[in-house]
Amino acid sequence: MLFESLQKLINAIFSNVFNLGATIFGIGILFCALMAAFGGEEGKQKFQKGLVVCIMAFVVFLLARAIIGFVRMNT
């Protein structure tokens, strides 16, 4: 009984963290894309690189559970 309620609490916290992370990455990708498209010439390349980094970080964020499971199985 106690462990079930604890598990529900942990699941709720992590689902909120996942939604928050997805929102932050979405805002970062949108900002970098807009600045790369409409920004000045001096910052355009920096924002293009930032866009690539944001997308790669978002993919790693989405695959974090699978990566952790893979590492646990192979160690």
Please give the pLDDT value at position 1.
Answer: 62
Residue 60 φ then ψ, to 5°: -65, -40
Digit-coded pLDDT (tens) for 1-46: 667 888 888 888 877 888 898 999 999 999 999 999 998 888 899 9
Please give the pLDDT value at position 65.
Answer: 83
- The answer to pTM > 0.75 is no
DSSP notation for 34-67: HHHHHS-HHHHHHHHHHHHHHHHHHHHHHTHHHH
